[in-house]
Chain A
Amino acid sequence: MIAEVVAAGLQLLVVALGAPLLVGVLRTLKARLVGRRGPRPWQPYADLRKLLGKEAVVSTTASWVFRATPFVLVATILVSALIVPVLVARPPLAFAGNIILLVYLFMLATFFLALAGLDAGSAFGGMGASREVAVAALAEPTIIVAVLALALRADTIDLGRIVERFGREPWLAANPAHLLAFAAFFIVMLAETGRLPVDNPATHLELTMIHEAMVLEYSGRYLALVEWAAAMKFFLFMTLLANLFVPWGLASSAGPGSILLGLTALGGKLAVLTVAVAVLETSVAKLRLFRVPELLAGSFALAFLSLMAVILVQ
């Protein structure tokens, strides 16, 4: 029992503290790939600290929604971190609602963030909110169907049990459906976390941005919380990609040895994925906003094909 609580705490810490590092490493890598020296990987920590020290400015137009949103965001993502198998295969809150809950928790975060975007009454906030919810709504079917392609083979929709089953019976993954679902989920990950080619996290150009426009009114500690939550969401999506599709190495018990192994495996898998994202982000241009739905429709088609492959192979 105590080991499990410690493991859960450790998992939260890894997500909470590792998320800025992941973002930092990605930025450094991207800079190196285009020939710049770029910031050091731990720059995001310094950014967060700077933001925490600054005065927050809140619009006189805004209501309680605006002030509550950063806290709700962080809370939602932290709860999600207890559902995703990050270090251990059986995360502590896995029993509370599995993948459907995870998808809808992310929607809860988007719901609050989009409302906060509208709250200050700025046109940018509304524009960002409208685009963000459009992308989130179109991405949702892909996530559900892609995960169902895994769940159907593992005979459960419990994330922990899916991971365990694939870990025990690796031949289940030897199916074209696995690759197709991975590709679909990867595209959705880019869309949901605001990466290229859907959104450019490095720009503040008003007319093209999505996430940055929505949070334009935030400053000081509120902005720090919002940025931290965004980094954790990115971390969780990358972890989902890593651990759902390549579950090997994940700790099956809460012992210190297996946790250490889980941490190392996670680090390795995330490193590979980060390099992939960095290469992708430096080699593609941002899509026009109204081309994004085509990309998402494509990812849905991949997920659907994957599910059909599972059903037909059975």
Chain B
Amino acid sequence: MHGLVYGLAALVGIAAAALGGYGMVGGAGSVRLPWLVPLGGLELTLDPLGGFFLALIGAAAVPASIHAMGATPGERRDRFTYLAFVLSMCVVPLAANTMTFAITWELMSIASYFLVLHDRESKSSVYAGWVYAVMTHAGLACLLAGMLLLGAWTGSPRFEDWRAAAPALTGAARNGAFVLLALGFAGKAGVIPLHVWLPLAHPAAPSHVSALMSGVMIKLGVYGLVRVSLDWLGIGPPWWGVAILIAGAASAVIGVLYALVDHDLKRLLAFHSIENIGIILLGIGSAVVFRTADQPTLALLGLTAALYHTVNHAAFKALLFLGAGAVVHATGTRNMEAMGGLVKRMPWTAACFFVGSASIAALPPFNGFVSEWLTFVALFQNRHLAAVGLNLVFILGIASLALTGGLAMACFVKAFGITFLALPRSDAAASAVEAPVAMRLAMVMLAAACVGLGLGPTLVVPVFGAVASSVLGVAAAPVTLGDWLTLRMAGGYASLSTIAIAIALGGALLVPLVALPLARASRRTREYETWGCGRIVQTARMEYTATAFANPFKRVFDFFYRPIKRLDIEFHPESRFFVERIEYENPTRSIFHDWLYRPALDLLRAGTRAAGALQSGSPNLYLAYILAALLLMLVLT
């Protein structure tokens, strides 16, 4: 019964991927049911950009659904909510008017809310659900306000009509609509500082849902940002692009910084989603700036890089979440400090997680590297911009992308090394068994996607480039293709061939294999325990922990983490040389919580308390209010 519903979800995924693919290659179609809902009715349209995101959602839903078939009955019990979640996500990129969009967007949010509340007994899940509900509805409020205002100004709730009417609007109106819509979509995408719900909500859901939430649901925020900044509102002022670039740079660096000091495997991955959304925004932001600067081919390059990274992130983040799900399934914990040694007990999961780690750390020749390379090259094109200020913003983007790459590599050394290598740090990890076949199949599918997207950029870049050029309305290709599956930039500026790198790496691996016998190297190998300064037995307590691993970063970036040190030692009453109990804690503090949300919530609370004075409970007073309101209306009209 469970399997049936998840099988159905996988079929929905396949159908969505097929329909989306049809849309991406230029297939168009629309459905209109005016009688179904008020205010314009239900209207769905398939266009290349919508098709792209539809295909992405469909393609990610297949492995996630297969993975769920291997989950425990407890983990997969919300099956109909899951199906509704997948279906509503599929419809969002097709929505063609305000009403349709609002309904499907809200359905998606509600379905995911119930999936976040999966563990209804746990206090932290309930809190996560609450924060998620508040943030997502604040976002919806912004979106609705923006859309209704746009509808009023342009005289139509249909997105199609906005494209034609938006350029004629006043600058203030377009800026206002941009701010409202961009805030709403950025909230869904988890852009700093609207990210607070994401690290709470994603880990709380079952892993196949986390994979979809991180892999594709937040991408619908990206979808909206592309629509707002490049499609619906026409060509905007440069500050739109600058704002997106700065938000992207901040999200990338801050996301990975939080991930470094978090040792909950799934929360770490959730923070990395913020980082990768930041990288995607760097691409989109550069596209917006180039478009305003009248450089359409460069804008195309930036948007193509962003779309490529969107797909890549969906592949490796879904893979990593499913891998984390397999680990949680086997060990029953999300705490990395209680893991270790799983590479021997779960070789398939370890190998797949390894591919995902290398991909997200942008190591060549995996897929993350290709899209980060494209993003770098897009940002390097600031040489075509005249304004020094814009150049500065681009350099900020370049530096933060480079820093993010290094920190992500460090973070995944921690994530893979502490989780899978060395000795198990708990009994649960020591007795872990390999994940069921369904889970392994799902992970292998996504690992293959990561490798394929890494080795075959020349096959997919033209497709993504076509989607980007349909959005921007330029008939060009972002890069040219050369021999050896090479991506080339005009004038020999840059080129990339991951297949050549992969072949060269493979060939170079043979060199030491051939050179060692030639140099008459000894072939003897002895297996012996790790050298440990003369101690008798090696135990897991002597291993480096995730906390210790992250400590250099905590100290380097202490102005950001603002760690607190709590040391509590209880001495033996007889002598201070004997310690009975020692407790050490070194938590970090969130600047967004302390300096943004806390003051805002305090203000809100004070405001509601002040407003509460109006509600005395006396009917006479309420009648007086009605009378006052009536008089006021009479005077005003």
Contacts and interface: CB of A to CB of B under 8 A. Distances in A.
The range of chain A's interface size is 35 or more
A76 B511 CA distance: 11
Helix, strand, loop or mixed for chain B's interface?
helix
Interface stretch (A22-30, A140-148, A235-243, A266-274): A140-148
A98 B363 contact: no
Nearest to B407: A137
A290 interface: yes
B494 interface: yes
A172 to B, nearest CB: 14
Contacts of B363: 104, 107-108, 111
A220 B522 contact: yes
B509 A111 contact: no
A33 interface: no
Nearest to B403: A141
B421 A119 contact: yes
A284 interface: no
A262 B198 CA distance: 55
Nearest to A114: B413
Interface in A173-194: none
A20 B76 CA distance: 58
A140 B403 contact: yes
Name A's interface SS.
helix
Contacts of B505: 75-76, 79
A110 interface: yes
Given A115-B413, A157-B494, A104 B364 contact: yes
Contacts, number: 275
Given A75-B511, A130-B544, A63 B516 contact: no
Interface in B530-580: 530-532, 538, 540, 542-545, 548-553, 555-556
B511 A74 contact: yes
Given A158-B492, A225-B512, A144 B543 contact: no
Contacts of B610: none
B493 A118 contact: no
Interface in A44-98: 49, 52-65, 70-72, 74-76, 78-79, 82, 93, 95-98
B105 interface: no
Given A97-B373, A137-B407, A152 B383 contact: yes
Contacts of A141: 399-400, 402-403, 406
Interface string A272-295: 000000000000000001100100
Given A63-B344, A71-B512, A144 B398 contact: yes
B122 interface: no
A312 B551 CA distance: 39
A65 B343 contact: yes
Contacts of A107: 361-363, 405-406, 409
B395 A307 contact: yes
Contacts of B376: 100, 144
Size category of the B interface is: 35 or more
B343 A82 contact: no
Contact of B509 (A49, A75, A304): A75
Interface string B352-386: 00000010011110000100110011001001000
B293 to A, nearest CB: 15
Which of A49, A76, A136, A140: most chain B CB closer than 10 A?
A: A140
Interface stretch (A120-128, A195-203, A250-258): A120-128
B306 to A, nearest CB: 17
Interface in B56-108: none
Contacts of A133: 406, 409-410, 413
Given A95-B482, A133-B410, A308-B392, 18 more contacts: A59-B531, A60-B529, A63-B344, A71-B509, A96-B498, A96-B501, A100-B372, A107-B409, A111-B409, A129-B413, A131-B552, A134-B410, A137-B407, A157-B377, A158-B493, A221-B522, A225-B512, A290-B555
